[in-house]
Chain A
């Protein structure tokens, strides 16, 4: 499963 990252945050 794709690692949920905080990179999609601002």
Chain B
């Protein structure tokens, strides 16, 4: 465990807790893409399969439980909660996320570390995580300006992945045989997807106006 990874995990934890808190307190999910939340639930479900078989550390198990619990409860809130669901803008959140899931699954069948169920699902979850933010970014483009909680959510998610890249660089130089192209490339692609969002996010911080994304 190094500082980059711990900071990355805590930033990731903060992103889901910020989101859960927002939905729970103001009982609204305006501006939040349900599709992205569903994709994240799938990412965690397919990656944390080993939760009950291999024990790595209390920290690891605890964080996996929190991520699984929070992502599924966010999906439940948006789909089922009688008040929250009314604020879900389903005719704006129209990104056909099956166009994301299937290519990731096919890619995982082609590129993986070992051809076993767990390894293929693990690769699938990495590819899916890289693109899971797309429906949310499309929704932000559509709804133009966003309230700053959603902006913070996307910002924290991007920061978590950027910190993980620093973690991989650190581990590459400190641990022998630490070469994992699948993880690195999908993590890099994911971070690049956030790059333009970061640009507009910092722009809006500078002139501290509402975050306006270009059409």
Contacts and interface: CB of A to CB of B under 8 A. Distances in A.
Given A1-B176, A1-B177, A6 B168 contact: yes
B63 interface: yes
Contacts of A7: 50, 122
Interface residues of A, number: 9
Contacts, number: 27
Contact of A10 (B63, B122, B177, B180): B63
A9 B176 contact: no
A2 B64 CA distance: 24
Q: Is the interface of A mostly helix, strand, loop or mixed?
A: loop
Interface residues of B, number: 21
A4 B5 contact: no
A3 B60 contact: no
B178 interface: yes
A10 B122 CA distance: 11
B144 to A, nearest CB: 33
Q: Is the interface of B mostly helix, strand, loop or mixed?
A: helix
A8 B9 CA distance: 12
A4 B122 contact: no
Contact of A4 (B9, B64, B178): B178
Contacts of B178: 4
A8 B56 contact: yes
A10 B64 contact: yes
B70 interface: no
B124 interface: no
Contact of B177 (A4, A8, A9): A4
B12 A10 contact: yes
Interface of A: 1, 3-10
Q: What are the 9 closest A-B residue pairs judged by CB atoms, nearest first?
A: A4-B175, A6-B183, A4-B178, A6-B180, A8-B56, A10-B63, A3-B177, A10-B9, A4-B177
Given A4-B176, A8-B56, A10-B63, 17 more contacts: A1-B177, A4-B171, A4-B175, A4-B177, A6-B168, A6-B180, A6-B183, A7-B122, A8-B57, A8-B60, A9-B5, A9-B164, A9-B167, A9-B183, A10-B12, A10-B60, A10-B64
